Amino acid sequence: MPVGTQGCVKALSPHELKEIGIKVILCNTYHLYLRPGYPIIKKIGGLHRFVNWNGVIITDSGGYQIFSISSLQKSEEKGVRFKSHLDGSDHFLTPEAVLQIQLALGSDLIMVLDQCTPYPIPHAQAEKALNRTLNWARITRHSWVKDGKRGLFGIVQGRLDRGARWHRPRKIYGDRLFSSQRRGKPTSMAKQRILCNTIDRKRSLS
SS3 167: helix
| Domain 14-205 belongs in CATH node 2.130.10.10 | no
The pTM (predicted TM-score) of the whole model is 0.83
> Any idea where the domains of the chain sit in the sequence?
14-205
Count CB neighbours of 54 within 10 A: 9
Per residue of the chain (206 residues), what is the pLDDT tens digit? 999 999 899 999 999 999 999 999 999 999 999 999 999 999 999 999 999 999 999 999 998 888 887 668 899 999 999 999 899 999 999 999 999 999 999 999 999 999 988 777 888 888 888 889 889 999 998 898 878 889 998 887 655 555 555 555 565 565 555 665 555 554 444 444 444 555 555 555 55
